[in-house]
A and B are shown apart, each in its own frame.
Chain A
Amino acid sequence: SYVLTQPPSVSVAPGKTASITCGGNKIGSKNVHWYQQKPGQAPVLVIYNDSDRPSGIPERFSGSNSGNTATLTISRVEAGDEADYYCQVWDRSSDHYVFGSGTKVTV
């Protein structure tokens, strides 16, 4: 089955840039989606199709995907961005949605 690998944690100072990676075999050939989840809340989609932002998501959130790594970038980080972030793909070979293990962003 397809595996997505994320770092367990990322620490960033307010106002700086946070980069969260998501590794997978030839992930650049897949559409990667990112979710933000705050404690006690449901996940929220922040990036879909590698780099598109749903309405209401700040421009500070951006994404890229190439080769074996996809990246979620949060610019000008704010205290409110502190959360768990999950990458996700649809694996056509198994007809399964696959999530990464999640990255805790600490501001």
Chain B
Amino acid sequence: EVQLMESGGGLVQPGGSLRLSCAASGFTFSSYWMSWVRQAPGKGLEWVANIKKDGSEKYYVDSVKGRFTISRDNAKNSLYLQMNSLRVEDTAVYYCARDPFERPEHFDYWGQGTLVTVSS
């Protein structure tokens, strides 16, 4: 059974940092593109970043470029999101999600999400 489990969320002050983790199981993690998708309270879904199977390609939404870094450790079946210079508008539930195709297309499995709150 495919499982994705996020952790690392919490309350942080504006300008602070946080590192999210996503533990994957039930599939060959190194064979899939992975993404982070977020959802602000009461709002819609917003893709944040993705990373290629071997980590050689990474893409980001413009609003987080230069502040967030996506990475993965295929030996540990884990996906990460390092978030620096956090802003109030980064407050959201952050989901990790798997893309089943050889190139980015869509998400077939999602984690349950971890809440990040940026507030003073």
Contact = CB atoms under 8 A, between A and B. Distances in A.
**Chain A at the B interface: mostly helix, strand, loop or mixed?**
strand
B26 to A, nearest CB: 15
Contacts of B37: 97
Contacts of A98: 47
A101 interface: yes
B112 interface: yes
Nearest to A101: B44
**Chain B at the A interface: mostly helix, strand, loop or mixed?**
loop
Contacts of A44: 110
Contact of B47 (A49, A96, A102): A96
Interface string A9-46: 00000000000000000000001010101000111110
B59 A95 contact: yes
B11 interface: no
Contacts of A62: none
Contact of A48 (B44, B47, B106, B112): B106
> Interface residues of A toward B: which range?
20 to 34
B108 A54 contact: yes
Contacts of B111: 42
B50 interface: yes
A57 B57 CA distance: 32
Interface of A: 31, 33, 35, 37, 41-45, 48-49, 54, 84, 86, 88, 90, 95-102
Given A43-B95, A48-B105, 8 more contacts: A31-B106, A42-B113, A43-B107, A45-B107, A45-B108, A49-B105, A101-B44, A102-B44
